[in-house]
Amino acid sequence: MSALRQPRALFTADEYLQREREAGEKSEFVNGEVYAMAGARVNHNRIQRNLLARLSERLRGRPCEAFGSDMKVRIERANAFRYPDVSVVCGPIDFYDEVRDAYGNPTVIFEILSPTTESQDRGGKFTLYRLLESMSRYVLIHQDRVGVEVFSRDDSGRWESVVFDELSDAFEALRDCRIGVGELYEDVDFEG
């Protein structure tokens, strides 16, 4: 006799947020289901640090702000909350609620790829992020080799990508904000 499959408990967005704010570990939320997040390796943390430092320098004096992976992005049309590795918002921030730890209008989202997350970052996450009307760029950064892929939305709403795989390359993270690929990989050790 086979065991009956138990249905998963589904949560509302507000139930998820209440649990998440009390929890010790991070999890993401997609249409009622909650997914635990894994920790990051040293190269991931170095790239994230380098990216946030460069964005902070270049966005100073502009109406844009960069956030690290503790800020959730709300994708209203998909009933989802995600933790991008880095996100940038330009203009007023559309916070989900008064706690101000989730917002719904990022301009650019950056994800740092690992072998275990790459397919999700390219697939399911990108599918959800494309639902954000405010988002104009999605940037994927490899942590185990030099490689940055920048997806940009054109005026007709189509997404196009360009790959940068030389340390001497530079890409436009957002309008008038260029970042050198070598700057992202400062102190990154591909051997270790």
pLDDT in tens, 57-81: 999 999 999 999 999 999 999 999 9
Task: Judge whether 27 lies within some domain.
Answer: no
Task: Judge whether 18 lies within some domain.
Answer: no
pLDDT in tens, 15-49: 999 999 998 889 999 999 999 888 889 999 999 99
CA angle 159, 160, 164 (to 5 degrees): 135
Domains identified in the chain, total number: 1
Q: Which residues share a beta bridge with 65? A: 89
Do 138 and 109 meet the contact criterion of CB atoms below 8 Å apart?
yes
pLDDT higher than 80, residue 118: yes
Q: Looking at the chain, how many residues does it have?
A: 192
Give the three-class secondary structure for 192: coil
Q: What is the CATH number of the domain that holds 176?
A: 3.90.1570.10
Do 141 and 112 meet the contact criterion of CB atoms below 8 Å apart?
yes
Do 109 and 84 meet the contact criterion of CB atoms below 8 Å apart?
yes
Task: Judge whether 82 lies within some domain.
Answer: yes
